Amino acid sequence: MKKRMLTILSVVALLAIMIGWYFVFQQQQAKSSGSKELTYAKEETAILAGGCFWCMEPPFEELKGVKSVISGYTGGDVENPTYNQVSAETTGHREAVLITFDPTVISYKQLLDVYWRQIDPTDPNGQFVDQGESYTTAIFYTNDDQKQIAEQSKQDLADRGIFDDKIVTPLIESGPFYEAEAYHQDYYLKSEKKYKFYRAASGRDEFIDRYWNDQPKLDLPKYDKLTDAQKKAKLTDIQYKVTQEDGTEPAFDNPYHDLKADGIYVDLISGEPLFSSKDKYDSKTGWPSFSQPLEPGNIIEKSDFALGMKRMEVRSRHGNAHLGHVFNDGPEPTGLRYCMNSAALQFIAKEDLEKEGYGQYLSEFK
């Protein structure tokens, strides 16, 4: 009888632990954006199709002035298409990227200069290893100014005589843009090994090297990329442990957890804007917490199983630094808590924004 009772109690205890872990697991999940068709501001958006959208994100996301790059589908006549539908060539859609940018930092023409260097503009049937209508190139202009700039850019490319064959990339008036499935977004960061294998086998890099290696390099604003030695020289021990080794600083014993001054928080390594003091709140956790990012395009969220449960790690896009984690127990309207490490951040006070090159964010505090 005693043995049976112990067995029953053990089973009950195990079930209690499992249920507890389930609710903890649910608590750790961050909310996702649920929209499929995206609205966009026509004056500061570029929509470009260049074959596999996995390969079209990296060259634009490294540029200063680019706020976000979203992979998706456009140009067809099927609403809310799936990847399987598009790749089956039954929708008329192309794989494309929607680039939101700050025209005061980088121009539409400069984005097109980058675009031409990522594609084979002479192939009417696809791109490299991927053939089919959904992989063909196109520039989807959002207004008359973009159309004129794109026409001139295409003509300039033809006049340079880099390619023997005719430039066939069409210019098409933009229409609905549908965000691709979540696993496609930032694929090169989330599935780095698979992406590198695909890219190496695709033939894209060989083509780019063959036609562009001897051409003058583009002079574009980019985020600094530090070597590991440079990072060790620049960062303190705790800053390096947090940002490079995915560590966590002590709760309450860090400079920003109770800072109430107006300003923005930027990545310690790259300087990319991350959070605003307007979205900061006291989460009682001992770490600086925010309800939302200032620039969502500068944030990468990755699944983290380090503690035996799934959490969502937050990293900076350009600095590739570990920042903290995001949880779904925050205040409304987002319901999110971006729990960050002070050691990964640099605070820029409101009165210093202009001097430090972040003057565009002064309007946040009017």
Beta bridge partners, 194, equal none
**Residue 52 is a catalytic residue:** yes
The residue ranges of every structural domain in the chain are 37-212, 228-365
The tens digit of pLDDT for each residue in 119-150 reads: 999 999 999 999 999 999 999 999 999 999 99
**Domain 37-212 matches domain 228-365 at the CATH topology level:** no
Q: Which of 294, 339, 343, 345 is catalytic?
A: 339
Q: What is the rounded distance in angstroms from the CA atom of residue 287 to the CA atom of residue 103?
A: 35
pLDDT tens for 266-307 read: 999 999 999 999 999 999 999 999 999 999 989 999 888 888
Average pLDDT over residues 98-115: 96
Residues 306, 289: Cα–Cα separation, whole Å: 21
Residue ranges in the chain assigned as alpha helix (H): 2-28, 58-61, 83-87, 108-116, 144-160, 187-190, 192-202, 204-212, 228-234, 237-245
Cβ atoms of 40 and 142 within 8 Å: the answer is yes
Q: Is the pLDDT of residue 80 over 80?
A: yes
Alpha carbon distance 95, 48 (integer Å): 9
> Model pTM greater than 0.85?
no
Helix (H) or strand (E) holding 311: strand 311-316
Task: Classify domain 37-212 at the CATH superfamily level.
Answer: Peptide methionine sulphoxide reductase MsrA (3.30.1060.10)
Confirm whether 339 is a catalytic residue: yes
pLDDT single digits (tens) 153-195: 999 999 999 999 999 999 999 999 999 999 999 999 889 999 9
Per-residue pLDDT at 13: 44
> Which residue carries 């791109």 as its tokens?
127
Residue 125, token pair as written in the block: 């049937």
Query: Which of 52, 63, 268, 345 is the catalytic position?
Result: 52
Q: For residue 332, with 0-12 CB atoms within 10 Å meaning exposed, 13-18 middle and 19 or more buried, which class applies?
A: exposed
Task: Specify the CATH architecture of the domain 228-365.
Answer: Beta Complex (2.170)
